[in-house]
Amino acid sequence: MIERNDEIAEAERELVRRMLAGDELAMETFGDTYFAPLYRYAVGRLSGNTDLARDIVQTTVVKALRKLRSFRGEAPLIAWLRACCRNEIAMHFRRGKAVPMLGEGDESVPELSAVPNPPQVDAPEGSLLRRESAQLVHETLDALPPHYAQALELKYLERLPVREIAARLALGPKAAESILTRARGAFRLRWEERIHDRRPTRGVGGGLVSA
Amino acid sequence: MREREVRLDDDVGRLITAAGPRPAVPAADLAAIKSGFRQAWSSETVADKAATRPTRARRWRAPLALAASLLVAVGGVWWWLGGPPWGAEHGVVANIARIDGSASLAVSTDARDLALSATDAPLDIVAGSELATAAGGESAGRVALRLAGGTSLRLDSGSRVRLLSAGSLELTAGAVYVDTSTAEVAHGIEIRTSIGIARDIGTQFEVRLVEESGAMRVTVRDGAVRVEHGATSARVERAQVLTLSADGAMVRGVIPTHGAPWDWTLRVAPRFDAQAATVSAYLDWLAGETGWRVVFEDPSLEATARAVRIHGGIAHLDPDQTPDAVVPSLGFSYRLEDGVLTILGPSGAR
């Protein structure tokens, strides 16, 4: 039931290779595929601070670009990028960067003032747990190939029948069924890895790689 | 399907249903990330191609640059005859559109400084040339340039900048103002100083070296700029100012997008060609130059008014001086308050 994802690994390596060779379409595809999931990942770890998340992600992807030549596809590309993002977040807080905002109208060189704190989570425990679970589900979907995540959302969020899912994905009905089956399997694998904090694998027979 | 698989599939569905849709990423944030990445990708892939380019192909640039500098030294001025494709000839990276007061130009391969005055514009600039404006006083100079690709660049008095390429400048004194909204092609620009680098993400901004404190100050009127110091970077948004010290300390503030901080840019703004221009084009130019928000008191007049064509007569005026000439000629009056220019109907009072 668990899919061989060597094809996915090869597709990621090919995307990276083409992008580094100057293929603009590959560069656009890279951004369209990975930036939104990375942003959500950063927001989730920065207590919802979207401004900081944006800056962190921008720094992450620029730095990652220079390291991508060493990407060998042993880990899913999103996992590799998330690791880079985690490092960037850690560096940010280690630097203890204080970037204060000052009063309006002050045109002289301003004095330092207090750093605004990131948004505080102040909610009943139940809603906090639900939020964290939802975040985990969303990150699991983000870790899937985009067409897998899309198929699952069409099925479970938009509650579309298979024939309409097939139409949306430009597939025949049997192919759509197959995608849904593989997507569910991939989701279960990623979900259980995260829940049990196991190091992710590429599937049956795949090598161990870092999260 | 086996029973366990059915249960597991139900669990997947329940999880996804309970979690709801994935949060959308704000379009502006995604655009900013993509823009910064694109610039980095362009630099990386261009650098790769340059490194692998056959050596012979690089050799022709030196003789052409030398020929360009000789033309300037012997002829005094290289007049732009109009119409050459931007950047296509002889390493030209910019064209001086306007000179106010005194300035000087050091072409990349010529040790002498050429003195420039208002009558020397328009004038092409080759890569590697250094442009300087006279400091304060009667001969204080300011220069407005158009970079290859269309970005507008202005130098304040007492400034010195080396044009490394159409997208990269080195500021060694004073201040530059950048407006990428005029660019014909999406062409990122970076301003390098000894303290840090400011990279635009589509914007109007100023980079100033503050002589008293030895700091670099980046002020953004519109859009966003990324400021880098070593491995550290910060994003500066509209109406923000960021001061970067030599030790990497960054301090932020807020600043209005119109008025005194930007006045010097108006004194050297490229003139608006009002010959048969529409009121719409004029108001867009006025808003872009002054930072004012332009509104019509009576929205029903706006569509008609914007389509009207105006003619001549304002080329000698700075942008903030033009409403006094243009608005009454349309039969209207205006009120300017807190950065908002309100066009009033014929019966309105200023």
Q: Cα dist. A49→B166, B212, B296 in Å?
A: 36, 35, 38
* Closest-CA distance of chain B to residue A96, Å: 12
Q: Which of B25, B43, B197, B258 to mutate to test the interface with A (most CBs of A within 10 A)?
A: B25
3-state helix, strand, coil in chain A (%, to 5): 65, 0, 35
Look up the pTM and report it. Answer: 0.44
- Does the CB of B271 have a partner CB in chain A at under 8 Å? no
Question: Tell me: the pLDDT tens digits for B232-259?
Answer: 888 888 899 999 988 888 898 988 888 8
The one-letter code for the residue type at B320 is D
Across the interface, whether the CB atoms of B5 and A1 are under 8 A apart is answered yes
Interchain contact B4–A (C-beta under 8 A): no
Most confident of A99-108, B9-18, B274-283: B9-18
Between residues B276 and B211, the one the model is more confident about: B211
> A1 vs B13: CB contact, 8 Å cut-off?
no
| CA dist., res. B153 & res. B163, Å (int) | 11
- What integer is the mean pLDDT of B128-149? 86
Half-sphere exposure (Cβ direction) of A48: Cα atoms closer than 13 Å? 9
Q: What is residue B342's predicted lDDT score, i.e. its pLDDT? A: 92
Is the confidence at residue A117, as pLDDT, over 60? no
Write down the residue that tokens 């006279």 correspond to: B134
* Contact criterion met (CB < 8 Å) for A21 and B25: no
Q: Tell me, what's the pLDDT at B161?
A: 95
More confident residue, A122 or B181: B181
State whether residue B8 sits within 8 Å of chain A by CB.
Answer: yes
B37 touches chain A (CB under 8 A): yes
| Distance from the B40 Cα atom to the nearest Cα atom in chain A, whole angstroms | 6
pLDDT in the model for residue B211: 84
Residue B47 has pLDDT above 80, yes or no: no
**Are the beta carbons of A72 and A29 closer than 8 angstroms?**
no
Q: Is the pLDDT of residue B71 over 60?
A: no
Of A39, A55, A97, the CB nearest to B235: A55
Interchain proximity B37–A58, CB inside 8 Å: yes
Cβ neighbors of B21 (< 8 A, separation 6 or more) are: A153, A157
Considering only CB atoms, A99 lies closest to which of B20, B45, B252, namely B252
Question: What is the chain A residue with the closest CA to B25?
Answer: A36
Say if B10 is an interface residue toward chain A (CB within 8 Å): no
Q: What is the mean pLDDT of residues A66-71?
A: 83
State chain A's maximal CA–CA distance in angstroms: 68
Tell me: pLDDT of A201 over 50.
Answer: no
> What does DSSP assign to residue B137?
S
Which pLDDT does position A105 carry in this prediction?
31
Residue B165 to chain A, least CA–CA distance (Å): 21
Instruction: Say whether A133 and B18 touch across the interface (CB within 8 A).
Output: yes
- State the pLDDT at residue A3: 41
Compute the mean pLDDT over every residue in chain B, rounded to the nearest whole number: 78
Partner A contacted by B31 (CB < 8 A): no
Please state the rounded mean pLDDT for residues B206-231.
Answer: 89
End-to-end CA distance of chain B: 79
Average pLDDT over residues B325-341: 88
Beta carbon pairs, A and B, within 8 Å: 142
Q: What is the CA radius of gyration of chain A?
A: 20
> Could you please report the per-residue DSSP string of B26-58?
PHHHHHHHHHHHHHHHHHHHHHHHHHHS-HHHH
Q: Is B144 within 8 Å of B152 (Cβ atoms)?
A: yes
d(CA B154, CA B206): 9
3-class DSSP state of B112? coil
| Amino acid at position A143, single letter | A
- Whether B301 has a pLDDT exceeding 50, the answer reads yes
Q: Which two tokens stand for residue A207?
A: 């090598």
Contact between A155 and B19 using a beta-carbon 8 Å cutoff:
no
* Cβ proximity of A83 and A211 under 8 Å: yes
> In which element (H, E) is residue A21 found?
none
First to last CA, chain A: 23
Closest CB from B22, B41, B255 relative to A40: B22
Which tokens go with B302? 């706006």
Average pLDDT over residues B305-312: 73
- Cβ contact B278:B309 at 8 Å: yes
| Residue range A128-157, pLDDT digits in tens | 556 778 888 998 999 898 889 999 999 999
Q: What is the pLDDT of residues A32-63, one digit of tens each?
A: 999 999 999 999 888 888 889 999 999 999 98
Closest partner CB to A62 (pick from B9, B15, B36): B36
Does residue B159 carry a pLDDT above 90? yes
Q: What is the pLDDT of residue A196?
A: 62
Q: Are B251 and A50 a contacting pair at CB < 8 A?
A: no
Mean pLDDT, rounded, of chain A:
74
The per-residue pLDDT for A180 is 92
Res. B289: pLDDT tops 80: yes
